[in-house]
Amino acid sequence: MDFANASHGATHLAHSGRLHPFETLRQTGLSTTSLARCNRYRRKRERQGARVALMAWPDGTWCVLAMHPTRAGLVVLGDDSKADAYEDARQMIRDGFLPLLALRDLSP
């Protein structure tokens, strides 16, 4: 496979992430300590007005994702945001951290 095709495959994978209810996290086999930390993160972000979900990709990469709604109360998760979350989550997992991420709408 050449570099261009490999890059396209990685981009496709990053965009193929799916959101799941936060409660799905209990089924992943996390330790009690890690699950408690994820729950604390969720409560903190929800107090700040975020929607919190589990984001997972077909290669096993996952993250707890806090998404802040727009002024209209919508949560928008585009392909670029999925790709950024995928890369950040992969790096955090490689470095031994729980992948706890927040996306914020920065538009005026």
Mean pLDDT of 76-102: 90
Residue 20 lies in a domain: yes
* Dihedrals phi, psi of 107, to nearest 5 degrees: -75, 150
Taking all residues of the chain, what is their mean pLDDT, rounded to a whole number? 82
Residue 90 lies in a domain: yes
Residue 85 lies in a domain: yes
List the structure tokens of 27.
């089924």
The model's pTM is: 0.78
Q: Which residues pair with 18 in a beta bridge?
A: 56
Residue 108 lies in a domain: no
pLDDT for residue 3:
32
Print the SS3 string covering 52-84. EEEEECCCCCEEEEEECCCCCCCCCCCHHHHHH
Per the structure, the count of domains in the chain is 1
Of residues 14 and 11, more confidently modeled: 14
Check: CB of residue 66 under 8 Å from CB of residue 50.
yes
Residue 95 lies in a domain: yes
Residue 96 lies in a domain: yes
Distance from CA of residue 98 to its chain's centroid? 11
Check: CB of residue 51 under 8 Å from CB of residue 77.
no
Residue 18 lies in a domain: yes
7 falls in which pLDDT band (50, 70, 90)? very low
Question: Does residue 102 carry a pLDDT above 60?
Answer: yes
Residue 44 lies in a domain: yes
Q: Which domain holds residue 87?
A: 3-103
